[in-house]
Amino acid sequence: MEDMDIVLAYRKHQHATCFRLLYERYAAKVYSKAMTMLHKESEAEDATQEIFTKIFLSLGKFEGQAKFSTWVYSITYNLCIDKIRRSRRSRELFATEMEDPPDTIEEVPDEALMSMQLSELRYVLSQLTESERTLLLMKYKDGVKIKTIASLLGKTESAVKMQLKRVKEKSKRIHDRQFASVT
Sign of CA dihedral 157, 159, 165, 171: negative
Q: What is the pLDDT of residue 111?
A: 60
Helix, strand, coil: what percent of the chain each, to 5?
75, 0, 25
pLDDT at 86: 77
Contact yes or no for 116/140 (Cβ under 8 A)? no
Can you spell out the DSSP letters for 83-115?
HHHHHT-SHHHHHHHH----TTSPPPPHHHHHT
Q: Distance (Å, rounded) from C-alpha 11 to C-alpha 134?
A: 33
Name the domain boundary from 87, 104, 127: 87
Domain range for 160 is 91-179
Predicted local confidence at residue 181, as pLDDT: 63
Pair 46, 119 in one domain = no
pLDDT of residue 21: 95
CATH of the domain at 96: 1.20.140.160
Last residue of a domain, which of 50, 71, 87? 87
Q: Has this prediction a pTM greater than 0.95?
A: no
In whole angstroms, give the CA distance from residue 123 to residue 66.
35
Q: What is the pLDDT of residue 26?
A: 96
- Tell me the one-letter amino acid at 13: H
Q: Which of 36, 34, 38, 8 is nearest to 22 (CA)?
A: 8
Question: Which of the residues in the chain have pLDDT under 70?
Answer: 88-116, 181-183
Q: What is the pLDDT of residue 159?
A: 92
Last residue of a domain, one of 41, 68, 87: 87
163 and 175 share one domain? yes
What's the pLDDT score for residue 94?
44
Q: How many domains does the structure of the chain reveal?
A: 2
What is 118-153 written as a DSSP string?
Answer: HHHHHHHHHHS-HHHHHHHIIIIIS---HHHHHHHH
Q: What is the CATH number of the domain that holds 45?
A: 1.10.1740.10
> Identity (one letter) of the amino acid at 141?
K
- Same domain flag for 18 and 68: yes
Q: Are 175 and 100 within one domain?
A: yes
Task: Quote the pLDDT of residue 81.
Answer: 84
pLDDT at 37: 87
Q: What is the pLDDT of residue 47?
A: 94
**Contact yes or no for 55/133 (Cβ under 8 A):** no
Handedness of CA 174, 178, 179, 180 (dihedral sign): positive
